[in-house]
Amino acid sequence: MPLNRCSTFSDGLTIIMKQTCLYKAPFGNITLVFEHGELIALNLHGDLAHAPYPLPDEWQQRLDNYFSGRLKNFGHPISRQGTPFQQKVWQAIAEIPAGEVMSYQDIARKIGSGPRAVGGACGKNPLALVVPCHRVVAKGGLGGFSSGKNTDEALAVKRWLLHHEGIDFA
DNA sequence: GACGAAAGTGTGG
DNA sequence: CCACACTTTCGTC
């Protein structure tokens, strides 16, 4: 997906504006994508070359507070996009208190579904940190993360985040 | 215990 | 309908 682009469609009326910003987190870079001034995605990786927009103060401070431990939950609404089921999963995840974890099955039972379906929805969560899918772990240990490549590094980030919130995993 | 297979749910082709 | 997913459980060895 192209970033930082204003697209004009053939009807000349529809315009999509995406602004991608960079934040330097302790474990690496984070990119935040804003569309029409609204945060629509937060990714746990990225580089400056693809995120030239300045980060809004509001989010700069929120992230600063989160990484310094003063802020635990962002209190930001979950992504409006996604299927109804995904919304339910994300909502349930967003309600997990900081410092606690739930298994995929816990989430599944909470919303009357199955663990694998929950995992699938987690993988599609566009708002990392805001919707703390890193607090969802497998039953016998740390589950997966980032649904694809960089699994090693992504898992390291998941561990980092959990540890940051006071949870240690073997 | 460890390992493989199947279960069961939602999504995409 | 089929294959897949950030899983879990069950049956064997």
What's residue A47's pLDDT?
A: 87
What's residue A81's pLDDT?
A: 92
- Domain chopping of chain A, boundaries: 6-67, 84-164
CB-based contacts of A170: which residues, under 8 Å, 6+ apart? A141
Q: How far apart are the first and last CA of chain A?
A: 36
What is the rounded CA–CA span in Å between residue A72 and residue A75? 9
Q: Which residue is nearest to nucleotide B11 (CA to C1')?
A: A120
What's residue A168's pLDDT?
A: 86
In chain A, positions 27-66 with C-beta closer than 7 Å to nucleic chain B are: none
CA distances from A34 to A20, A21, A26, A161 (A): 6, 8, 22, 23
What's residue A146's pLDDT?
A: 78
CA of residue A83 to C1' of nucleotide B12, angstroms: 12
Q: Which residue is nearest to nucleotide C4 (CA to C1')?
A: A120
CA of residue A121 to C1' of nucleotide C7, angstroms: 12
CA of residue A117 to C1' of nucleotide C11, angstroms: 24
Nearest residue to A85 (alpha-carbon basis) of A59, A120, A50, A46:
A120
User: For chain A, which ranges sit under pLDDT 70?
Assistant: 1-16, 148-150
Residue that has been written with the tokens 């772990």 in this structure? A137
Catalytic residues of A: 133
Nucleotide nearest to A112 (CA to C1'): B9
CA of residue A162 to C1' of nucleotide C9, angstroms: 27
Report the DSSP beta bridge partners of residue A29: A24
What's residue A1's pLDDT?
A: 46
What is the rounded CA–CA span in Å between residue A4 and residue A21? 9
CB A115 within 8 A of CB A124: no
What is the rounded CA–CA span in Å between residue A111 and residue A75? 21
Give the fold, CATH level 3, of A84-164: Arc Repressor Mutant, subunit A (1.10.10)
Nucleotide nearest to A85 (CA to C1'): B10
What's residue A12's pLDDT?
A: 53
DSSP-derived letter for residue A77 is: P
Q: What is the CATH number of domain A6-67?
A: 3.30.160
